[in-house]
Amino acid sequence: MAPESSSPLLSGEPWLSIVGIGEDGLAGLGELARRAISDADVVFGGKRHLELAATAIRGEAKPWPQPFDSAMQAVLALKGRKVCVLASGDPFFFGVGVTLARHLSKQEYRAYPTSSAFSLAASRLGWALQEIETVSLHGRALDLIRPLLHPSRKLLALTSDADGPALLARLLTENGFGMSRLTVLEALGGERELIRSTTARDFSLTGIDPLNVVALEVQAEAIARVLPLGFGLADDLFEHDGQITKREIRAVTLSALSPRRGELLWDIGAGSGSIGIEWMLTHPSMRAMAIEHHPERAARIRRNAQSFGVPALQLIEGRAPEALAGLPKPDAIFLGGGGSGDGVLEAALAALKPGGRLVANAVTLEMEQVLLSAHAKWGGSLTRLSVDRAEPVGRMTGWRPAMPVTQWIFSKPED
């Protein structure tokens, strides 16, 4: 039952309030945010959030269900009543506000953010927030930090729990970044706030608060596994069995695919997964599906995706064109190298979004003939790519040509 002081919603008034609360509790909130909590019939939040706001809650306090309901059904079911959701810091920075906004119009809710953990950490360290990298590892794969590990860079990483900093230190040490300085900032903004520093290699901190942010000052050893920016990563960074689009050809291929933020790529016959992985490394919003029927290569793609910090690469185990059925339509498609079954190119073109790009590489005469026919039928551009590498010839050195590649680039007309 709603509290006696609760007043009915006015026409057009938002029914939901999303309040960001820090470790300083109600003291850190503005008057409007405190009023949103007090006026609510129902207040949702984690146990900690509800305790921080307890003296202001006059309605029903409801802890989040376990396991957590990512669809927010309990909240959405109360539409029409005054509801408040409590969240950590800024609810729209890796927070619950983002999830709720997917289900609501902007007129249905009002948000009252406070300082995020990243903002608080930067202020304690004197770091310019706009000049550093931030990443949330809360409930997400630790590998997401790998592409950000560049020498002399500063990072802020939000972890999942008390074990997060130690696991991060181990990952750094195992990948040649053991001399990096780690600062663990715990329970920021509250009475339990604590800041401690060490190196990844010497990490031995104990009793870490589950609410923590790790600040990294990256130092790379000579053996460090740095993932450079740009196209054409070294072949030996990938685990492969020879079925890999070689570095130089890969760089040209990705340039032809022309990645744009938020787009989806199909990598058909993915081999080692190198094209899809580099596509995803261009920006965190990029998505890719690797279609591969060979079980050992599929397992290798999974390992490569992990080691390159793109665990969201989606692996589709099956043979094209049958494996393409029902997949979301792509913005770009890569089809490579030695050949493909009947109907693959046609199925790929049919699935490609209008305005999308398809790049196909051929190293066999049979596949080259497929591309020559496609060019004659649909247009696009054809390019012959060849690379020679200097290799020993007895006690001397000579040029050894790699297999030439015929590349067809096609942009699907807009409807």
Q: What is the pLDDT of residue 339?
A: 55
* In a domain? residue 228: no
Please report the DSSP string for 117-148 in residue order.
HHHHHHHHHT--GGGSEEEE-TTS-GGGGGGG
The tokens for 211 are 């609410």
Of the three residues 189, 217, 245, the one that is the final residue of a domain is 217
Assess whether 163 and 264 both reside in one domain: no
Assess whether 72 and 149 both reside in one domain: no
* In a domain? residue 342: yes
Assess whether 246 and 184 both reside in one domain: no
Total structural domains within the chain: 3
* In a domain? residue 4: no
Assess whether 359 and 212 both reside in one domain: no
Q: What is the pLDDT of residue 67?
A: 82
Among 248, 225, 119, 250, smallest CA distance to 171 is for 225
Of the three residues 161, 187, 217, the one that is the final residue of a domain is 217
For residues 131 and 133, what is the distance between their CA atoms, to the nearest angstrom?
7
Q: What is the pLDDT of residue 337?
A: 66
| Amino acid making up residue 324 | L
CB 277 within 8 A of CB 313: yes
Q: What is the pLDDT of residue 5?
A: 46
Q: What is the pLDDT of residue 231?
A: 94
Q: What is the pLDDT of residue 336?
A: 85
The tokens for 405 are 């590649």
Q: What is the pLDDT of residue 295?
A: 95
Residue 209: CA count within 13 A, CB half-sphere = 18
Q: Residue 54: give its domain's CATH number.
A: 3.40.1010.10
Q: Where does 243-327 show beta strands of DSSP type E? A: 264-268, 287-292, 314-317
Q: What are the backbone angles phi and psi of residue 313, rounded to the nearest 5°? A: -55, 125
Assess whether 109 and 126 both reside in one domain: no
* In a domain? residue 63: yes
CA distances from 160 to 8, 200, 210, 314, 361 (A): 39, 18, 7, 23, 42
Assess whether 71 and 27 both reside in one domain: yes
Assess whether 399 and 313 both reside in one domain: yes
Assess whether 288 and 144 both reside in one domain: no
For residues 150 and 125, what is the distance between their CA atoms, to the nearest angstrom?
20
Among 321, 133, 270, smallest CA distance to 214 is for 133
Assess whether 124 and 180 both reside in one domain: yes
Assess whether 240 and 149 both reside in one domain: no
The pLDDT tens digits along the chain (415 residues) read 444 445 677 667 899 999 999 999 999 999 999 999 999 999 999 999 999 999 999 999 999 988 888 788 999 999 999 999 999 999 998 889 999 999 999 999 999 999 999 999 999 999 999 999 999 999 899 999 999 999 999 999 999 999 999 999 999 999 999 999 999 999 999 999 999 999 999 999 999 999 999 999 999 999 999 999 999 999 999 999 988 999 999 999 999 999 999 999 999 999 999 999 999 999 999 999 999 999 999 999 999 999 999 999 999 999 999 999 999 999 999 998 655 668 899 999 999 999 999 999 999 999 999 999 999 999 999 999 999 999 999 999 999 999 999 999 999 998 7
Assess whether 254 and 387 both reside in one domain: yes
Of the three residues 114, 144, 174, the one that is the final residue of a domain is 114
Q: Residue 304: give its domain's CATH number.
A: 3.40.50.150
For residues 136 and 71, what is the distance between their CA atoms, to the nearest angstrom?
20
Pairing of strands 381-385, 405-411: antiparallel
* In a domain? residue 269: yes
CA distances from 247 to 231, 265, 361 (A): 8, 19, 14
Assess whether 67 and 106 both reside in one domain: yes
What is the pTM for the complete model shown? Answer: 0.88
Residue 256: domain span: 235-411
Q: Residue 177: give its domain's CATH number.
A: 3.30.950.10
